[in-house]
Structure 1
């Protein structure tokens, strides 16, 4: 079985900028720099047939390259925060790519989550962090901004659960067309 998701990788300089934010929150399990990514679609557990179907579906996507900027910090979990994230500007080209990925995977038979796409990079998972502490952290770092940086491809990742963190591996990469 394969646990799969589709995401954008981040340039090293962007990932390094995100690591400067990883401090000062009780109960935070900070994500390792090699795990930073921006998820376009979560596929979940699938067998070899599903793995091949995902590769084929994603290879049909034609979308232009674009520039992306990260900005702002937020939390997920209304009364009990469960993660901290850096936001990504919802640029039309990013939304277009995400919609194409989702459509291609649904047509290939995948039952994807129905929640609204909120472009972000997860910084930490939280356990026992108070709402006040999470909101204070987000307010303190709310002016964070990084980029713009070029996005020239997207990837199909596999995820293997480890003892302390998941290990992500790029299974296939897909180039975006030159927008110039």
Structure 2
């Protein structure tokens, strides 16, 4: 089985700008820079045949490249407990356009639609038992004006997530270029996802 998601990877320069934000709170499991990304669509577990269909559908997406800027810091909470700390993304119509293209491509591969509203972000930390550090409010206020350098987005990526006791490892299966004309996807694993490894 393949646990898949589609995302925009971040350049090293932006990852370096995020690094100073990752610290100063107890109880936080900070994300490694290697797994930071902007999720376009979490897919979940599929078999090899569906993974192949997804790859082919994504490879047919034709969308323009664009520029992004990360900005602001916020959190997700449930039942009054903060479980995720994240950095947001400045308004970017072409990012929304790409997300819609990805959604349509996945529907053609019989992947169920995502019911949740799309809120692009980069996860910084997760809290197993909620954020109970008394400095959390001060941390949010101190970093609320964070703004990254603008960076170009010239591709998007199909990732396979491997779960383990030490956390998730994300394997890049295929990368798809963004531009105005026709193009072929660049396969990072030496072949289509379904044949990259045994299912």
- TM normalised by structure 2 equals 0.85
> Could you tell me how far apart the structure 2 residues matched to 1:90 and 1:122 are?
17
Alignment of 1:71-150 (within 5 A): 71-78=71-78, 79-128=80-129, 129-130=131-132, 133-150=135-152
Change (3 A) 1:66 1:75: same
| Unaligned segments of structure 2, at least 5 residues | 182-199
CA RMSD of aligned residues (A): 1.6
Alignment of 1:1-180 (within 5 A): 1-78=1-78, 79-128=80-129, 129-130=131-132, 133-177=135-179
Change (3 A) 1:135 1:75: farther
> Could you tell me how far apart the structure 2 residues matched to 1:175 and 1:111 are?
25
> Could you tell me how far apart the structure 1 residues matched to 2:67 and 2:121 are?
15
| Cα displacement string for residues 138-157 of structure 1 (whole angstroms, at most 9, x for unaligned residues) | 22210100021000000000
> Could you tell me how far apart the structure 1 residues matched to 2:152 and 2:164 are?
31
Conserved 8 A contact 2:62-2:180 = no
> Could you tell me how far apart the structure 1 residues matched to 2:2 and 2:135 are?
36
Shift of 1:112: 3.7
| Unaligned segments of structure 1, at least 5 residues | none
Shift of 1:178: 5.2
Shift of 1:163: 1.5
